[in-house]
A and B are shown apart, each in its own frame.
Chain A
Amino acid sequence: MQLEQAFQDPQLCRSLLDRLNRALDGRSMRFMEVCGTHTVAIFQSGLRSLLPDTVAHLSGPGCPVCVTHDAEVAAFLDLAGRDNVIIATFGDLLRVPGPGGRSLKHAQAQGARVEIVYSPLDALTLAANNPGDIVVFLGIGFETTAPTVAATLLTARQRKLENFCVLSLHKLVPPALRTLLDDSQCAVEAFLLPGHVSTILGLEPYGFLAKDYHVPGVVGGFQPADILLALCMMAEQIRDNAPAVVNAYPRAVGDAGNPRARALLEQFFMPADALWRGIGSIPQSGLTLRPEYEDMNAMVRLDLTLPDVPPLPGCRCGDVLKGRMAPPDCPLFGKKCTPATPVGPCMVSTEGSCAAYFKYSER
């Protein structure tokens, strides 16, 4: 904790800000923070109010709740209505609106059994205590959370718990970045890469950013000084026209990531095409359970399909996630769409960019 506090030191931040200004030397920079935790940290620490005007920060597709497609929300809402099904989920999914604005909170009020868990392992306890029901854990998240879900599947096997399964809606970060960069309208000049995801992946999976697209990528931590340091490195790479993928968060991220966690992931999951809200289908950007674990795959076991759901009228989440639009420029922002009456998930998720703008910007 003390170490973390050192990265909030005002003097250290001041000197990094000076370094950033020197590197920018009046030119502008459009960077994208891929991860929602970064978005929130930038606001919460007050960093945004200190950044030079020439730095535009775009919030990327890195909030696991925000990128969950309407069809996926519709699917788990469908599950929540079924007899003998108990949904186990992290709290952030409760208020995510699906088709018609309905959320798990509504389902719960109408009698659905939705339990908030703090670890996927808690879902196993639920399963053990309710042998007559089937417990479905909503597997939402990126490479960071997926290994714990894999570990839970392993434990479920070892304990021979037959009434536990996972609805795997996990997403993978690197394929999404490639899709963004392939978009001709993409205006991102550098990526602040997600610290948590990188603890698992390491640097290698991002190598293509610099190699194929000539775009810098810096893995950054979540304290203000961490973020500032990453921004300095991005600006310097742009200035020197020397893009590279580098690690500015070595106290948590090893360059090789966590091979054991990746092995566990691979044991249970394999890549599959996945739907991203506002972006659509991205090839090989999700994780599905391997065929040998079909009995723990909620899609198969409970015979689920992702329904065709028309996009939410007026919601510009896709443009926000792609960095084409800042949240306040969405016509619904702060009017029809507020944290109390969210139109899109970006407005309810604790890591959502619309929510962060709404929550932290002085008006």
Chain B
Amino acid sequence: MEDCLLLDAGSGGRASQRLISQCFFRHFANPLLERMDDAALLTDIHGPLAMSTDSYTVTPLIFPGGSIGSLAVHGTVNDVAMLGARPRYLSCAFILEEGLSLETLERITADMAAAAREAGVHIVTGDTKVVPRGACDKIFINTTGIGEVFANPVPSGHSARPGDAVLVSGAMGDHGLTVMGSREGLSFLTDVASDSAPLNHMIEDILQSAEEVHVLRDPTRGGLATTLNEIAEQSQVGILLEETAIPVHEAVRNGCSFLGLDPLYLANEGKCICIVPEDKAEAALEAMRRSPYGKEATRVGTVTEGKAQVSLQTRIGGRRLLGMLEGAQLPRIC
């Protein structure tokens, strides 16, 4: 094989075959994929089903704690899981830029395969396009996931009720700051790593232990603050957070204060928000803490009556609005 990707690999001919078999099939190996039919035939999956799709573009492609490959699996697996579903199958489409190093592609593919194994899902169908240099940023990945819903009732952003406890499964902002730091080459951010992780096993445990879960969401883009605002709107409730209760790693807090960023608006890729009736809060927290990805789980606030907005009880005991993010957070050094 060459050491960088040529346009030929997207031709549909032998070069494509080579790329697919030497890279994708080798890593994603499973009987359904290897049938190479136009679609994957899924016979052992039972409804109701949850389905989610997402496209992944990130610079740099490989960052501390993960890569675009692991992210593309974790992101979609988690989205499916948040509906109280057991993710089973993934599709995966690559848009690759001519000239991409094959070593990088290989590493990303291996990451995807490892992430899928850990989550217990199979990548059963896919697509590859190669576009001329400059037509995309090295590599874009789309994944679609499908899973069997087992939760009853199904958790939803519309189901938060006044009096519910608001829980998070760990510290906020690790992923967002890591990616921003590696993109901008901010060498002082040495102690941060992405939290990208598959949460489906933890979610299954939460749902079984707490029995009744009103809302499950992963605070990805826009972070905790934006996601909670969406929930407040959907459920038409207020949410009151306790600033001192929200876990943020020291290195993230320092990096953010230096860059003028707010960790509550930074993306997370391995955390979930869980809103449960007060009397289920302990059971849900215990379930989270049993998972390697939920060790720092904690209660951060309460759902309240009143206007659909998120308020923050600050460190010094004051109160203020925690609004939705408008546009992107830009780091500032001045």
Contact = CB atoms under 8 A, between A and B. Distances in A.
Contacts of B318: 45-50
B163 interface: no
A224 interface: yes
A361 B331 CA distance: 23
B315 A1 contact: no
A95 interface: yes
A350 B321 contact: no
Contact of B319 (A145, A359, A362): A362
Nearest to B259: A118
B320 A340 contact: no
A94 B311 CA distance: 28
A211 B184 CA distance: 48
B316 A8 contact: yes
Interface string B303-329: 000010101111111111101001100
Nearest to A7: B316
Given A46-B314, A362-B311, A92 B321 contact: no
B332 A46 contact: no
A9 B254 CA distance: 18
Contacts of B333: 118-119
Given A49-B319, A359-B321, A118 B307 contact: no
Contacts of A116: 330
Contact of A48 (B317, B320, B323): B320
Most chain A C-beta atoms within 10 Å of own C-beta, residue among B312, B313, B317, B323: B317
Contacts of B254: 1
Nearest to A338: B326
Interface residues of B, number: 26
A237 to B, nearest CB: 24
Contact of B320 (A4, A43, A94): A43
B238 to A, nearest CB: 9
Contact of A360 (B307, B320, B326, B332): B320
Contact of B316 (A13, A92, A350, A359): A13
Interface string B252-266: 011001001000000
B332 A350 contact: yes
Interface of B: 184, 253-254, 257, 260, 307, 309, 311-321, 323, 326-327, 330-334
6 contacts: A10-B315, A13-B316, A46-B317, A46-B319, A116-B330, A363-B307
Pairs of residues from A and B, 4 with the lowest C-beta to C-beta distance, nearest first: A46-B318, A46-B314, A91-B330, A339-B326
Given A91-B332, A339-B327, 13 more contacts: A9-B316, A44-B320, A46-B312, A46-B314, A47-B316, A47-B318, A48-B318, A49-B319, A92-B330, A141-B334, A145-B334, A360-B320, A360-B321
